[in-house]
Amino acid sequence: MSSIDSYASIAGEEVIQHLRQLAEPLKGLKVVHVNSTRVGGGVAEILDRLVPLKRELGIDAHWEIVVGQDSFYECTKNFHNSLQGKLAPVSDSLLRIFEKTNEQNAEKLRPILEDADLVFIHDPQPLPLLRWCPNRKGKWVWRCHIDLSRPYRPVWKYLRKFVVDYDASIFSLADFAQPLPHNQYLIPPSIDPLSDKNIDLSRSFIQDVLDKYGIDDSRPIMLQVSRFDRFKDPVGVIRAYRLAKGFCPELQLVLAGGTATDDPEGAMVLGEVKAEKDNDEDINVLLLPPEAHKEINALQRAADIILQKSIKEGFGLTVTEGMWKQKPVIGGDTGGIRLQVIDHHTGFRVNTPEGAALRIRHLLGRPELAHEMGIKAKEFVRQNFLITRHLREYLSLMLALLMGDDERVELEM
C-alpha cells in the first residue's frame, strides 16, 4: 500500500502537508465505513484506498460490509434501479428481507458501530443499520453514490424514512440532493493515481494484454469499461460502434466489465450484450475478474477513445480513469459525467448512439484534437478528481460535523 507521502510527486507537497494539518485534530477518532461489497464497483475501490489513508493520518478508520442472501441483493439492486429513475416496484416480501438482513448484520456490527465517533453508510444496502444501533454515540452520515435526481417515488419514499434519521448526507452532485431535514454535503468521488488501475504501465505489459485478448493495436480501439448494467447502456455502445464502423471499417470495440457480488443482474445484461454482438469479431466482450485492475489499466491506455455512454450515472469513475490516461471521453450527458466531460474540452457528451457515433468519427478523423483533449482531461483530473482532494473533503466534512453547524469552523493549534 502506498504511503501518503507518495502522492506528493503527483498532487504536490503542499497538498500532503494540508492533509496532515487537517487530520491533526481528528487523530484517534473512531470512524467506520459500511457498504455491501469489498470487490467490484466504484464504492469498494474508493474505500479500499481511502480507509488505509485515513488510518495513516492517525484516524482509527474501519471498513465493514453487510452481507445477505441472493434475495437481499435482488432487493437492493431494485433499489438502485428505482433510485436512478427506473419504475421498479419492490415487493413487500423483499422489503422484509431487506430489513431482516440489516437487523442480522446489526447483531454483528453493533459494538463497533455504536462505539464509533462517525459512521459513513454507503448507498441504500446498509441504510436501516442505524435503527438497530439505539445506543450509538457518534454522528451517522449517509453517503449516496447513486444518481438520485429523479427517483422512482414510491421506493424513495420508503428509503427516505431511514435517511431522515441520519445526521447528514453526502451526494456527488447538487442535482442529486433531495429535500431532507439535515445538511446535504457535496463531495465528488475520486481515483487513486497510485493504484493498479491507474499507475503507469510498461509498453510490453500493455502489448501482452492486447495479445491475450486478441486486440490489434495497429487498428483504432474504442473501449467502455463498466459493469454489465443497463444504465451503462452497453447495447447502445455496440449500436454506436456499428454506425461509426461505416466510416471507419478498421474500428474495434472492447466492452470490458467485471462482476460485483451485490449485482445480480450482471449475467442477464451480459447475455443481452453477447446477443447484440452476434458474430462480429471486432467486438471484444471481456468479463474480467474483480482483481484485473492492471488489465483494465492496460486496455484504457491502449484505447484511442474511451466511452461511457451511460443513461444514468452517479459519477462514472471509469470516465475519470480514462481521462487520467490522457484519453478523450465520449460520455452520456447525465449525472457525474457532466462534471467531468466538459463538452469540446475533455471529450464530448452525447445522448444517443447516433451522437456517440458522430463523435467517434469526429475524433478518429482528428488525432491531434484527441491528443489535445487528452492532455486537458488529465490535468483536469489532477486538479479535481484525485484521492487527495477526496480525502481533504472528507477530513473537512468530519471536522465540520464534529465542530457544529456554523458557517465558519476555526481550529486552534
Partner 1 sequence: MSQGNNTVEPFSVRDCALVAIATGKRAENLRELRDHLMNIHQGSIYYHFWGSLLRPKFDDPQFNNDFAVWSHYSLHDEVLAERLAIIDPKDYDDLEALRRELIDVIEQRLDEIHSPEWVGPGKQFHFIRSQIVVFDTGWRIDNPEHLPNLVMRMSAGSIFYHVIDARRRFPKGLDDFSAWLGGFGDEYAPACKALASVDPYYVTLIELRRKIGSVLRSCFRQEF
Kindly state the smallest distance separating residue 233's Cβ from partner 1, in Å: 16
Identified binder of partner 1 from the candidate list 184, 207, 261, 352, rule CB under 8 A = 184
- Closest distance between partner 1 and the C-beta of residue 284, in Å? 32
350/395 with CB nearer partner 1: 395
Report if residue 9 touches partner 1, rule: CB under 8 A: no
CB of 3 to partner 1, least distance (A): 21
d(CA 74, CA 69): 9
**CA torsion through residues 219, 225, 227, 230, sign:** negative
Q: Which of 30, 338, 362, 382 binds partner 1 (CB under 8 A)?
A: 338
What separation in angstroms does the CA of 298 have from each of 105, 206, 264? 38, 5, 27
Report the residue from 3, 6, 21, 93 that binds partner 1 according to the rule CB under 8 A. Answer: 21
| Residue 199 DSSP class | S
Q: Quick one: which of 10, 177, 248, 287 contacts partner 1 (CB under 8 A)?
A: 177
Q: Does 149 bind partner 1 (CB under 8 A)?
A: yes
CB hemisphere CA count around 205 (13 angstroms): 14
DSSP state of 84: T
Judged by CB under 8 A, does residue 385 bind partner 1?
Answer: yes
400 sits near partner 1 (criterion: CB under 8 A): yes
DSSP string for residues in 358-400: HHHHHHHT-HHHHHHHHHHHHHHHHHHSBHHHHHHHHHHHHHH
- Cα–Cα distances (Å) from 62 to 48, 50, 211, in that order, read 10, 10, 40
Nearer to partner 1, 228 or 385 (CB): 385
Selected range binding partner 1 among 93-101, 153-161, 193-201, 381-389, rule: CB under 8 A: 381-389
Check if the beta carbon of residue 252 is closer than 8 Å to that of residue 303.
no
Q: What phi-psi label fits residue 328: left (phi over 0), alpha (psi between -120 and 50 degrees) or beta?
A: beta
Closer residue to partner 1 in complex, CB, 75/319:
319
Q: Are 207 and 217 in contact (CB under 8 A)?
A: yes
Nearer to partner 1, 175 or 282 (CB): 175
- Using an 8 Å Cβ cutoff, are 124 and 101 in contact? no
Site for partner 1 contains 15 (CB under 8 A): yes
Judged by the rule CB under 8 A, the positions of this chain that interact with partner 1 are 14-15, 17-18, 21-22, 24-25, 149-150, 171, 174-175, 177-180, 183-188, 333-335, 338-339, 342, 345-346, 380, 383-385, 389, 392-393, 395-397, 399-400, 403, 405-413
